[in-house]
Amino acid sequence: MKKPKWVIAKEQDKRAAAAETVWLFGLHAVRDALANPRRVKLRLVVTRNAAARLEEAIAQSGMEPEISDPRKFAAPIDPGSVHQGAALEVKALDWGSLADIALGEGPLPARIVLLDRVTDPHNVGAILRSAEVFGARAVVAVQRHAAPETGALAKTASGALERQPYLRVRNLADAMVELRDMGFLVLGLDGEAETDIETAVEGKRDRPIALVMGAEGPGLREKSRETCDALVRLPAAGGFGSLNVSNAAAVALYAVRG
């Protein structure tokens, strides 16, 4: 029996993800990745100074570091990267399915952030940090037109990438529908929405909530807007000014805390 096209596509995506490697850089990002048993670690390049600072993490990881001259750093990363003398080649993390994470056990009602074409790795890294701080279950983005797992993203996330699930899905609207079917209240952030976020969640904080954030400028796509249960805005003191998507995510996660 011939496999459906969507099954073949899903298998291809999994094979591609398994083959993908990422170079993480910076002392914090490398230290946390070395300490993460879920990470498949392939090659560690460090200067002697960085090796001394990462001595304990390197020993615990069991890796044999490659010592490199800081003036001719051997890792194949952008020469402009602030690597602090440490770079680690790894496989991208596999966090499992959206359902596994969304329906998992936790001390608080589930919170999930969905990103609609947010492509800046620094913004996504900052959102991962906020998601970890406020106890979100995951940050979800599409496989295309979204920031992939990169060294720049990991460095901005400051270790959160090792602990905060970052899932990539084929279709964001389908993921939103899947979450709604699980009982999530799906709220889209829109600066021109009539209802503010705190009003929208009043009396509903015990429910699982998904927050959908659009890219700066274009905002949410029409399909994403239509799939939300409601569009909400962040309360503001005046009629001018706005937050970038990473700051808005932090404020929104605080506003819907359980």
pTM: 0.86
* CATH number, position 178: 3.40.1280.10
Domain boundary among 58, 91, 124: 91
Pair 211, 143 in one domain: yes
Mean pLDDT computed over 40-49: 97
| Pair 112, 231 in one domain | yes
pLDDT > 70? residue 237: no
What is the pLDDT at residue 17?
Answer: 47
The region of weakest confidence among 9-23, 91-105, 161-175 is 9-23
My answer on whether 243 and 178 are in the same domain is: yes
Helix axes 121-133, 245-255, angle to 10 degrees: 20
Question: What is the percentage of the chain residues whose pLDDT exceeds 70?
Answer: 91
CA 252 to chain centre: 16
Number of structural domains found in the chain = 2
Q: Is 4 part of a structural domain of the chain?
A: no
Residues 135 and 191 in one domain: yes
Question: What pLDDT does 38 receive?
Answer: 92
Task: Report residue 141 as tokens.
Answer: 């983005």
pLDDT of residue 81: 87
CA distance 113 to 132: 11
User: Is 194 domain-assigned?
Assistant: yes
Residue range 164-169: average pLDDT?
95
One domain for residues 144 and 210: yes
Q: Which residues of 13-47 are buried (b: 16+ CB within 10 A; e: fewer)?
A: eeeeeeeeebbbbbbebbbbbbebeebebebbbbb
Instruction: Answer yes or no: do 78 and 111 share one domain.
Output: no
- CA dihedral sign, ordered 17, 18, 22, 24: positive
Pairing of strands 195-196, 209-214: unpaired
Q: Provide the H-helix boundaries in the chain.
A: 5-19, 27-34, 48-53, 55-61, 98-102, 121-133, 151-157, 172-181, 197-201, 222-227, 245-255
Determine the pLDDT at residue 241: 59
Rounded CA-CA distance 125/157 in Å is 4
Query: Are residues 121 and 170 located together in one domain of the fold?
Result: yes
Domain end position, chosen among 72, 91, 110: 91
Q: What is the pLDDT of residues 82-123, one digit of tens each?
A: 899 999 999 999 899 999 999 888 888 999 999 999 999 999
Tell me how far apart the alpha carbons of residues 160 and 133 are, in angstroms, rounded to a whole number: 9
